[in-house]
Amino acid sequence: MSSTSLRSGAQRIVGGLEAAGVTLAASVPDTWIGRLMATVRESRTIRAVDAAREEEAVAIACGVGLAGGRGAVLIQNAGLFNCGGVLAGLVDLYRIPCFFIVSYRGDRRDPVYYHEPKGRVTEPTLTAWRLPYAIADHAGDLAAQVGRGVEAAEKSRGPFVLLISGEDLE
Amino acid sequence: MTARKPLLEALVAMLGPDDVLVSCLGANSRYLPHLAVTAPVFALCDSMGAAIPLALGMALQRPDRHVVALEGDGSLLMCPNVLATVATVHLSNLTALLWVNGHYESSGGQALPSAPVDWASLARGFGIANVERVGDAPALRAAFPRARAAEGPALLVVDVAFDPHEPIPPYSERPDEIRARFRIS
């Protein structure tokens, strides 16, 4: 068994954020994101910030980026749906790199029935909003998937969304 | 009630190169290119409600700089929740000025919903202890140094006159120009 497989998915994701130079993670939790943020809070290099609403988290992360750091946004897909305005009027308009980790509630891996409507519209919304995205694969190198997402945001000077499921954190 | 420009001029005269100024969309962002501002300025022309959290992110990243956010009452009415976040993070290098004129000035001067908002009490209720209300330039000159020196974040509630005929200059900088020029040394 490799050392990587001894670590939880949440630890591997946070390790990827650390390796990518992320200095702050702004978040509004759901069950899955809350578990991931618990691991973020153990990081020595990433500051965890709890926002009251998702648009705030996006602006906070952008402020970090404009001030020389790297911010990330950790929210649920329902929260991402709240962010259309700030994505268009801040991230896109000013071309600010912004990396998102978004819990993909309601996809086929989610056991909770009431998330299904959100799951049905998540990828169509990302596509309609022209948000580049990837779906995390916990069988692969999660840290590398995070790193590629952060770099994609930096390179494009725009958003990149990594969709995760609860099983990616185990 | 005092017009916006003398208040804005009084504020920027108190800022230096070690400060950072983040402006909400509308009149503040439109006036700032015409004023002598020595602090780096990030001026929004869209995204109502983003000025304070954007400034919060900068203040978190750069504790060696004092970050000043300008926000309007119409914008904050959309997302007053940010005051809770500001209170919780509790940075002493963040001051917000809330410009209260009761109107959506940029979109044609429509009145805000008519229920009066006691912004100072609201901010204190969210947990921001350093709150003052100012109504003219001398009061702003007195209050801003207190806000800057406060332990924890500060909010100045600035009562400003609404004049539908005020000759506010148009936006004179594009977002890509603002983004390219913005640097915190």
The whole-number pLDDT of residue A6 equals: 66
End-to-end Cα, chain B, rounded Å: 37
The whole-number pLDDT of residue A2 equals: 45
CA distance A56 to B51: 10
CA distance B114 to A10: 47
**DSSP 8-state code for residue A8:** -
Nearest to A34, CA basis, from A94, A75, A78:
A75
Using a 10 angstrom Cβ sphere, with 0-12 exposed, 13-18 middle and 19 or more buried, the burial of residue A58 is buried
CA distance B172 to B148: 29
CA distance A54 to A29: 9
Taking a C-beta distance cutoff of 8 angstroms, is the pair B49, B96 a contact? no
3-class SS string, A86-138: HHHHHHHCCCCCEEEEEECCCCCCCCCHHHHHHHHHHHHHHHHCCCCEEECCC
- B89/A contact by beta carbon, under 8 A: yes
Task: Name beta bridge partners: B66.
Answer: B19
Distance of CA B73 to the CA centre of its chain: 10
**DSSP assignment of B118-152:** -HHHHHHHHT--EEEEE-SHHHHHHHHHHHHHSSS
Taking a C-beta distance cutoff of 8 angstroms, is the pair B91, B56 a contact? yes
Nearest to A98, CA basis, from A138, A55, A49:
A55
CA distance A3 to A36: 20
The whole-number pLDDT of residue B106 equals: 85
Predicted confidence band of residue A3 (pLDDT cuts 50, 70, 90): very low
B93 pLDDT more than 90: yes
Residues B45, A93: C-beta atoms closer than 8 Å: yes
Among A26, A50, A57, whose Cβ lies nearest the Cβ of B88? A50
For residue range B109-158, list pLDDT tens digits in order: 999 997 889 999 999 999 999 999 999 999 999 999 999 999 999 999 99
Q: Is ipTM over 0.85?
A: yes
- A26/B contact by beta carbon, under 8 A: yes
Structure tokens at B118: 């006691």
For residue range A62-119, list pLDDT tens digits in order: 999 999 999 999 999 999 999 999 999 999 999 999 999 999 999 999 999 999 999 9
Phi-psi region of B47 (alpha: psi -120 to 50; beta: other; left: phi over 0): left
End-to-end Cα, chain A, rounded Å: 16
Give percent of chain B with pLDDT exceeding 90: 92
Residues A49, B89: C-beta atoms closer than 8 Å: yes
Domain residues for A12? 3-169
- A71/B contact by beta carbon, under 8 A: yes
Closest residue, chain B, to A28 (C-alpha): B85
For residue range B4-17, list pLDDT tens digits in order: 999 999 999 999 99
Predicted confidence band of residue B25 (pLDDT cuts 50, 70, 90): very high
Q: Rounded mean pLDDT of chain B?
A: 96
Chain A interface disruption, residue of B20, B44, B52, B58, most A CBs within 10 A: B58
**Phi, psi torsion values for B70, nearest 5 degrees:** -110, 125
At a CB cut-off of 8 Å and minimum separation 6, what does B138 contact? none
Contacts of B174 in chain A (CB under 8 A): none
Closest residue, chain B, to A27 (C-alpha): B85
The whole-number pLDDT of residue A5 equals: 58
Give percent of chain A with pLDDT exceeding 90: 96
At a CB cut-off of 8 Å and minimum separation 6, what does B21 contact? B12, B15, B32, B37, B39, B40, B41, B42, B67, B68, B70
Residues A67, B85: C-beta atoms closer than 8 Å: no
Task: Give the residue-averaged pLDDT of B172-176.
Answer: 93
Among B42, B54, B79, whose Cβ lies nearest the Cβ of A53? B79
Neighbours of A126 (CB within 10 A): 19
CATH number of the domain residue A45 falls in? 3.40.50.970
Predicted confidence band of residue A168 (pLDDT cuts 50, 70, 90): very high
Q: Where are the domains of chain B?
A: 4-181
The whole-number pLDDT of residue B105 equals: 87
Q: How many CA atoms lie within 13 A of A18 on its CB side?
A: 14
How many distinct structural domains can be found in chain A? 1
The whole-number pLDDT of residue B114 equals: 79
Query: What CATH number was assigned to the domain covering residues B4-181?
Result: 3.40.50.970
- B122/A contact by beta carbon, under 8 A: no
B64 pLDDT more than 80: yes
